[in-house]
Amino acid sequence: MLEVRGLRAGVAGREILRGVDLTLHSGEVHAVMGPNGSGKSTLAHVIMGRPGYEVLGGSVTLDGADLLAMTPWQRAHAGLFLALQYPTEVPGVSLQDLLESAVRATGQPTAGVAEAIRAEVERLALDPRLLDRPVNVDLSGGEKKKNETLQLGVLRPAFALLDELDSGLDIDALRACARRVEAATEESGLGVLAITHYPRLLHELRADHVHVLAKGAIVRSGGPDLARELDENGYVGLLGPDLAGESETAAVGAGPARPTIDDPFGGPGTSPGGGDPFADPLAGL
Ligand code: ADP
Ligand code: MG
């Protein structure tokens, strides 16, 4: 069980998460939706342990173990996985080396990794030639997301945080990734926190619970109908203009950028404690 209790966190002296409560059991899918800048990526980053955020209160536990006291790699060993909104390019490292290192670090044998990769390539209909490239280097946005899903399939975590897995995916790729994650919930009891803007992801990856995050707090929770309601009425229709608005600084630095290996959690305007002063403000518009 992954349990988030009263989680408050901020960056650069500003509180972004203002008391988030979530309880995920194995095999469950929880979707988190919410306006831009509401704190969705911050939530995923703080649970995984991206440096730079300040935890101001609350707790995050996995089967009772205190995740907030652990480094990101210790959290990964404990069974947590984060599919990044903007996957990182890692020049010079092959996917197989990456996954074998990850498996070796947990003390498991690496003998089956190559075969597991081949099985995932098949399931995701990923072009096998992409495996010859360094991790994510020169892959399209959609291919990178498939690559994240492949890693999830090989590493078989207990809980996965998916930060907009659907962004950049075409319809077929979206279906393949969503189906793969849904299958993991059934095959290995994976618990999923899926951050998304689009109910389409939830056609194949069936959410048991849908939560709406606005201004750093969960303001509505419900079943799959809530995602449909949002699709029809938008955030303003559902929450009213006050809660649906972006946070004051939300627009600063927004727009896709290439994360670097210096900060593998990468992402535009999300660099805790600063952001890239040279970022192109028009990138991704
Ligand atoms: P979402 O993923 O819901 O779009 P984020 O979690 O990325 O939102 O961001 C939540 C809020 O925190 C936004 O207003 C964003 O501008 C702000 N924020 C994120 N990182 C930083 C930072 N390093 N410095 C200042 N504000 C930040
Ligand atoms: Mg985000």
| Nearest CA among 247, 253, 249 for reference residue 216 | 247
In short, whether 11's Cβ falls inside 6 Å of ligand 1 is yes
The number of the ligand 1 atom at minimal distance from the alpha carbon of 216 is 10
In the reported structure, the alpha carbon of residue 268 is separated from the centroid of ligand 1 by a whole-number distance in angstroms of 9
Going by CA atoms, what residue is nearest to atom 6 of ligand 1? 39
245: confidence class by pLDDT, cuts 50, 70, 90: confident
Residue 256 pLDDT more than 90? no
In the reported structure, the alpha carbon of residue 116 is separated from the centroid of ligand 2 by a whole-number distance in angstroms of 30
In short, whether 270's Cβ falls inside 6 Å of ligand 1 is yes
pTM: 0.87
Residue-level pLDDT at 21: 98
The ligand minimizing its distance to the Cα of 37 is 1
Q: Which residue has the tokens 């992954």?
A: 2
Q: Report the distance separating Cα 180 and Cα 183, nearest Å.
A: 5
Residue-level pLDDT at 50: 94
In short, whether 271's Cβ falls inside 6 Å of ligand 1 is yes
Task: Return residues with CB closer than 5 A to ligand 2 (ion).
Answer: 40-41
In a 13 Å sphere around the CA of 188, the CA atoms on its Cβ side amount to 15
Quick: pLDDT tens for 105-148: 999 999 999 999 999 999 999 998 888 899 999 999 999 999 99
Residue 193 pLDDT more than 90? yes
Quick: pLDDT tens for 63-107: 999 999 999 999 999 999 999 989 999 999 999 999 999 999 999
Q: What would the 3-class secondary structure string for the chain be?
A: CEEEEEEEEEECCEEEEEEEEEEECCCCEEEEECCCCCCHHHHHHHHHCCCCCEEEEEEEEECCEEHHHCCHHHHHHCCEEEECCCCCCEEEEEHHHHHHHHHHHCCCCCCCHHHHHHHHHHHHCCCHHHHHCEECCCCCHHHHHHHHHHHHHHHCCCEEEEECCCCCCCHHHHHHHHHHHHHHHHHCCCEEEEECCCCCHHHHCCCCEEEEEECCEEEEEECCHHHHHHHHHHHHHHHCHHHHCCCCCCCCCCCCCCCCCCCCCCCCCCCCCCCCCCCCCCCCC
Angle CA(82)–CA(168)–CA(249) in degrees, nearest 5?
70
Residue-level pLDDT at 252: 37
Going by CA atoms, what residue is nearest to atom 23 of ligand 1? 272
Question: Which of residues 204 and 271 earns the better pLDDT score?
Answer: 204
Quick: pLDDT tens for 138-180: 999 999 999 999 999 999 999 999 999 998 899 999 999 999 9
